[in-house]
A and B are shown apart, each in its own frame.
Chain A
Amino acid sequence: MDFGQVITQVIGDSQQSLWPAVGSGFKPEIVLCITLFVLLIAKCFTWGTRIDLAFPLTCIGLCLSVYVAEPWNYLGDGAPPRTELFTGMLVLDSFTAFFRAILLLSALLLVILTQITGVPDLSDATDFFCLVLGAIVGLCLMASANHALMIFLAVEIASIPSYVLAGLLENQRRSSEAALKYSIYGAGAAGVMLYGISLLTGVLNTAHLPSMAQELATQWPVYEADTRWVLVMGGLMLGVGLAFKLSAVPFHFWCPDVFEGSAAEIGAFLSVASKAGALALLVRVSFGFGLLNVEPMHFPTDTNSRAGMFSVTDKVPSDVSSHNPSESDSLNVTDLNHRLAPTRNFIICLISLVAMITCTFGNLAAYGQTNIKRLLAYSTIAHAGYMMMAVPPALAMATTDASGARYAIAALGMYILTYVFMNVGVFAVVALLRNSLGSEEIADYAGLIRNAPLTVICFSLMMFSLLGIPPLAGFIGKFAVFGALTDGWRSTGSPLLLGLLVVGGLNTALSVYYYLRVIKVMTFDRETDSTRPRPLSVISPLGACYVFAISVPLLAITVMAAPLHKWSLAAALQLF
């Protein structure tokens, strides 16, 4: 294939990826980018600053984006086939569609919340919404990344707006401090991750995840010990970047400080959207390296003649043939997957260990907190641990029990879906209370049930949901994850998964105290002399409506669990 052909193909492929006639392709991200530009341009004109255009424009952009993303097509019956976009940089499948929908939904919830709480004032609103949209583009890319370079780019696109968002509160030292801490920590983590990626690509001669996995499968037996160490180090460094985005221990230190310093709305964004994107990326990376997809990949261009730049099938590494040419030719995907077992075990052990520590640490550290945002930050860390627990059983069962593995991924999907409502709701209440009480100390919430009964009841439901008490939504997610662990333990016999199950169960009991403490302060306690004086109407009617509306799904998800679980299962269908 000569250079000209390559160029033609890349152009054709890009055109097809950007705005395909059928399917969603790259459309949602493009819609988001266009919205972003329109927002910025509208601000240039004087009339754009006078009327509040930013909010409706953002909402329209997000809704349009959901419309062109067509999650209902991908999660229903007869989903379009798995497709690689931009010559293998991104992958578009039901998993991408599911996470896009969740990310856009959480962005929409957040944008409405900020409109109610009024945290970005009129002059800042445009900037704020632009940053949110930009971060969402990055998070969507994280959910669909299929290439090591894309992983790095996506993480950066998502992170940099987040740094600015963390410093949004002007003239507040804590906010600036939070932004600085976050960006320095993020820059460090990104650097380490990039180094890890370069080590991996250097050894494996490619940055396309499936090709890397294939390379690993064929070459692992013949690598020398030094090369293996380089790969292990590369994998660990890549893990550092992921752990930073997930706020997993030991890369969680930024999390409480940033949550405390920045506005509660930003906390909602970082804890929900950012976490969902990071988890999607974790699944992408662990399945990208640990498993080759059995289903053949489809390409947007028509491709009998395609000699894809990164496609798996025709990539026969030159040095493999020198070692054992006959074997490498005859290997099919199943054999290759069998050979990837050490990689999978490495990833499983790593994620399990980090998940156990993250979960336990988050729950223990939350005990001593007096600031509600710090407490929620640690609760977020703990929940990241629970959610990560779904990945090891999925990976462990992927080759032996595909249906069990899909249930595990679906468990993660269910968890995130419920988590969106719980956590956005909790942060919304914190933001609304901050507006009226001017405080984020738990002690200042004493006896709040007498001032704002409905809000406190909704808040209690959210807390119980975070704790995982049925019939609230949080239980369904936790139940599904624990179920996946049990299934994984039963079908693989791995004591590690049993250990995860026990740790997860004990952590649930461990977390009772600090969630209940907040509820206790709000409901049992009386106002003391040191409590700040309160306005007569603590929560605005609009805010109360928002809180109520967001706590309704907490009960509805349990009753309607059947269709939701079906969608989550559909999300996992094309993953392996």
Chain B
Amino acid sequence: MYTATEPSSLGWIPSLIVFLPALGALLLALFPSKSDQAIRFFTLAITIAVFVTLAAFLIFDTGHGLTFRTDEAGMQNVYVQPWIPSFNIQYFMGMDGISFPLLALTAFVSVLAMGASWSIQKHVKAYCILFLLLETGMLGVFMALDFFLFYVFWEVMLLPMYFLIGVWGGPRREYAAIKFFLYTLLGSVLMLIAILMLYFQSDVRTLAKAQPDLVTKLSLPSEVLTEATKEGAPLHTFNIQALAAMGQHTDLFSNKEVLFDGWTIQHWAFILLFIGFAVKVPSVPVHTWLPDAHVEAPTPISMILAGVLLKMGGYGILRICYPICPLGGFDFAYGVCLVGVISMVYGAFAALAQKDFKRLVAYSSVSHMGYVVLGLGVWSAAIADGNPDLMTSSYWNQGIQGAMFQMIAHGISSAGMFFMVGVIYDRVHHRNLDQFGGLFGKMPLYAGLAIPIFFAGLGLPGLCGFIGEVFVVLAVWKFSQVLAIISAFVVILTAGYILWAIQRVYLGAEYKGPHPEALTPLNLREVSIAVPLIIFAVLFGVMPTLVLQYMDKSISLQADQLTAWAREHDEHKSEPSSVPALAQTETLPIFKFTKPTDR
């Protein structure tokens, strides 16, 4: 999506939010390493400060543009500074209806995960520093609007994550950490190649010729804009908005066939970027790092992984893949949907087969994130073939809304589920599903809080998991009824593994596993983490507009823009092909339905 952006004078404050955790990490380095409790509270204070500042955007209208307006579809609170002018790299940050809910989710989950980090006992200082650096990386990814900057933030997360899994993880943590690093880096390298391809193919001059009004509103540097009006060599850019405008309004990325017949830069870039993001989502077949990483990671890091990191894949597909490479998205719509559906089915079946409680939740993430990919991929225009019914943006709009809602809902339910697994693991130090049972009797409060969270993950109506799934399945129906039926069927599988897990863990006569004496009731800290999650799970389930109102405008704008592009593309496609098609019907009268009286 591309929109007109107005840099605001106080735009540096959102950037400050991004770097506040890093600043906190720097300060933490000065703390004496023995003062564990002080370090923990300081870190918690930083994460809360980030959340509160973001929340303040909603409540207060400062009158300086420092607020988040739900009635505006475009980028808000934009801040632009030149960074490396010889590559036209900008420090370009901003937020819109797609990124703001995810930013809020990141800040929210970070607070809760930090609250859950009290169970971390060794090297608390190092842990907290890495945790804060991780938060900076996550917030940065959702705010960066320059492709180079985006990539930098994307990779910045890798380093703390590697150590957080590798040092504080379970018995096979080294294997899990390196596997996580390797998978993500391979995806990132593919992404880097795509970024470079797009950058060197981009040209602000061509865009300025095609859309002279639009080009001035994309926060491009003024030197580039003055230069763009003259003739000369191509002016490359990393500006994501400008790249999206080029992808939709010029043939810069589609005017050259590469390697295969009919495949253009757009197709290749789409595939490379999609693989890079699919690793993060994660989609089958590049999901295998996830169960290992989740099982080995400590509880709070699992919450972050499932609650935030996976969302970056979906966000990347939505923010980058489709707007910049609509042609690739158009041609591969079916492939993307298939990847989503396979992930859903495979993840659900794999979850059914797990004996490890945490691994089950991890596979449920694979399954649930499949809905996100499916919802994003449901581009009905791609199968419209001239059918005006499908050439509207409404179905796709619904699909994207479903995907976005699913991301937020999954952020809450999966973080909650991992937390609930962590609570019990902290006590009995095992996660074997067959050795649980009877926890309802031993820990009634815990079970009472856990079951709603698991039901939210199940997608029970009235809880947050339901809305996203329904939106996606409804949107799929027009696109492909087979896929819609399969994805509806997955709901039964989900119910199967979640109910079975609840039955094995919480119900039953009595707990027969190891350490029964350790099953103490929840403490206040644990309750205060679980309760907000449940509140939001119920709130979003009952009042989905709470979330949808923020994203609605931005998603509609993107869907409309891409549908307009699809219509144009369709006309272009049908023009040259209409002539031979007509000739064909003339020569083959057998397919012509003519009335006998006409003779």
Structural contact, A403 and B182, CB atoms closer than 8 A: no
Contacts of A403 in B (CB 8 A): 233
Known: A483-B200, A506-B189, A513-B178. A523 touches B163 (CB 8 A): yes
How far apart are the CA atoms of A403 and B232 in the complex, in Å? Answer: 12
The reply on A68 being an interface residue by CB < 8 A is no
Kindly report which residue of chain B lies nearest to residue A469, judged by CB atoms: B155
Of A407, A471, A513, A566, which is in contact with the most chain B CB atoms at under 10 Å from its CB? A471
Known: A471-B152, A512-B185, A516-B181. A562 touches B167 (CB 8 A): no
Q: Which listed residue, B85, B181, B200, touches A512 by the CB 8 Å rule?
A: B181
Distance of B140 from chain A, by nearest CB (Å): 10
Within 8 A of B (CB), among A551-576: 558, 561-562, 565-566, 569
Within 8 A of A (CB), among B141-179: 151-152, 155-156, 158-159, 162-163, 166-167, 173-174, 177-178
Kindly report which residue of chain A lies nearest to residue B151, judged by CB atoms: A470
Structural contact, B193 and A470, CB atoms closer than 8 A: no
Contacts of B181 in A (CB 8 A): 512, 516
Of A501, A502, A505, A569, which is in contact with the most chain B CB atoms at under 10 Å from its CB? A505
Number of interface residues of A (CB under 8 A): 33
Contacts of B199 in A (CB 8 A): 483, 486
Known: A403-B233, A469-B159, A509-B186. A561 touches B84 (CB 8 A): yes
The reply on A434 being an interface residue by CB < 8 A is no
Contacts of A502 in B (CB 8 A): 193
How far apart are the CA atoms of A513 and B183 in the complex, in Å? Answer: 11
Structural contact, A509 and B182, CB atoms closer than 8 A: yes
Contacts of A513 in B (CB 8 A): 178, 182
Distance of B181 from chain A, by nearest CB (Å): 6
Kindly report which residue of chain B lies nearest to residue A454, judged by CB atoms: B29
The reply on A298 being an interface residue by CB < 8 A is no
Structural contact, A505 and B173, CB atoms closer than 8 A: no
Q: Which listed residue, B82, B87, B159, B193, touches A486 by the CB 8 Å rule?
A: B193
Structural contact, A469 and B158, CB atoms closer than 8 A: yes
How far apart are the CA atoms of A303 and B162 in the complex, in Å? Answer: 64
Known: A482-B196, A490-B201. A516 touches B178 (CB 8 A): yes
Q: Which listed residue, A471, A516, A562, A569, touches B156 by the CB 8 Å rule?
A: A471
Q: How would residues 261 to 289 of chain A score, 1 for a CB under 8 Å from any chain B CB and 0 otherwise?
A: 00000000000000000000000000000
Contacts of B158 in A (CB 8 A): 469
Kindly report which residue of chain A lies nearest to residue B169, judged by CB atoms: A524
Of B85, B159, B162, B189, which is in contact with the most chain A CB atoms at under 10 Å from its CB? B189
Distance of A167 from chain B, by nearest CB (Å): 38
The reply on B488 being an interface residue by CB < 8 A is no
Within 8 A of B (CB), among A482-516: 482-483, 486-487, 490, 501-502, 505-506, 508-509, 512-513, 516
Kindly report which residue of chain A lies nearest to residue B125, judged by CB atoms: A453
Kindly report which residue of chain A lies nearest to residue B190, judged by CB atoms: A505
The reply on A251 being an interface residue by CB < 8 A is no
Contacts of B186 in A (CB 8 A): 509
Distance of B582 from chain A, by nearest CB (Å): 37
How far apart are the CA atoms of A471 and B163 in the complex, in Å? Answer: 17
Contacts of A501 in B (CB 8 A): 193, 196
Known: A520-B174, A520-B178. A483 touches B156 (CB 8 A): no
The reply on A479 being an interface residue by CB < 8 A is yes
Structural contact, B200 and A490, CB atoms closer than 8 A: yes
Kindly report which residue of chain A lies nearest to residue B156, judged by CB atoms: A471
Number of interface residues of B (CB under 8 A): 34
Kindly report which residue of chain B lies nearest to residue A493, judged by CB atoms: B256
Q: Which listed residue, A470, A516, A523, touches B155 by the CB 8 Å rule?
A: A470
How far apart are the CA atoms of A403 and B235 in the complex, in Å? Answer: 12
Contacts of A479 in B (CB 8 A): 192
Structural contact, B178 and A508, CB atoms closer than 8 A: no
Structural contact, B189 and A508, CB atoms closer than 8 A: yes
The reply on B83 being an interface residue by CB < 8 A is yes
The reply on A464 being an interface residue by CB < 8 A is yes
Structural contact, A464 and B159, CB atoms closer than 8 A: yes
Distance of A255 from chain B, by nearest CB (Å): 26
Structural contact, A569 and B86, CB atoms closer than 8 A: yes
Contacts of A523 in B (CB 8 A): 163, 166-167
Known: A470-B156, A486-B193, A565-B86. A524 touches B174 (CB 8 A): yes
Structural contact, A487 and B200, CB atoms closer than 8 A: yes
Contacts of B87 in A (CB 8 A): 483, 565
Within 8 A of A (CB), among B263-298: none
Contacts of A470 in B (CB 8 A): 151-152, 155-156
Structural contact, A562 and B85, CB atoms closer than 8 A: yes
The reply on B423 being an interface residue by CB < 8 A is no
The reply on B383 being an interface residue by CB < 8 A is no
Contacts of B82 in A (CB 8 A): 562
Within 8 A of B (CB), among A390-441: 401, 403, 407, 410
Kindly report which residue of chain A lies nearest to residue B258, judged by CB atoms: A498
Contacts of A475 in B (CB 8 A): 152, 155
Known: A479-B192, A486-B197, A505-B193. A565 touches B84 (CB 8 A): yes
How far apart are the CA atoms of A512 and B177 in the complex, in Å? Answer: 12
Q: Which listed residue, B162, B173, B196, B233, touches A516 by the CB 8 Å rule?
A: B162
Contacts of A482 in B (CB 8 A): 192-193, 196
Within 8 A of B (CB), among A518-572: 520, 523-524, 558, 561-562, 565-566, 569
How far apart are the CA atoms of A516 and B201 in the complex, in Å? Answer: 34
Distance of B149 from chain A, by nearest CB (Å): 10
Q: How would residues 455 to 488 of chain B score, 1 for a CB under 8 Å from any chain A CB and 0 otherwise?
A: 0000000000000000000000000000000000
Known: A523-B163, A524-B174. A562 touches B86 (CB 8 A): yes
User: 29 A–B contact pairs at CB < 8 A?
Assistant: A403-B233, A407-B86, A464-B159, A469-B155, A470-B151, A470-B155, A471-B152, A471-B155, A471-B156, A475-B152, A479-B192, A482-B193, A483-B199, A487-B200, A490-B197, A490-B201, A505-B192, A506-B189, A508-B189, A509-B185, A512-B182, A513-B182, A516-B162, A520-B177, A524-B174, A562-B84, A562-B86, A565-B84, A565-B86
**Which residues does B use to contact A, with CB under 8 Å?**
82-87, 151-152, 155-156, 158-159, 162-163, 166-167, 173-174, 177-178, 181-182, 185-186, 189-190, 192-193, 196-197, 199-201, 233
Q: Besides the contacts A479-B192, A508-B185, A566-B86, what 18 more A-B pairs have beta carbons closer than 8 Å?
A: A469-B155, A469-B159, A470-B155, A470-B156, A486-B193, A490-B197, A490-B201, A505-B189, A508-B189, A509-B189, A520-B177, A524-B173, A524-B177, A558-B152, A562-B82, A562-B84, A565-B84, A565-B87
By Cβ-Cβ distance, the 4 closest A-B pairs, closest first, are A486-B196, A470-B152, A505-B189, A509-B186
**Which residues does A use to contact B, with CB under 8 Å?**
401, 403, 407, 410, 464, 469-471, 475, 479, 482-483, 486-487, 490, 501-502, 505-506, 508-509, 512-513, 516, 520, 523-524, 558, 561-562, 565-566, 569
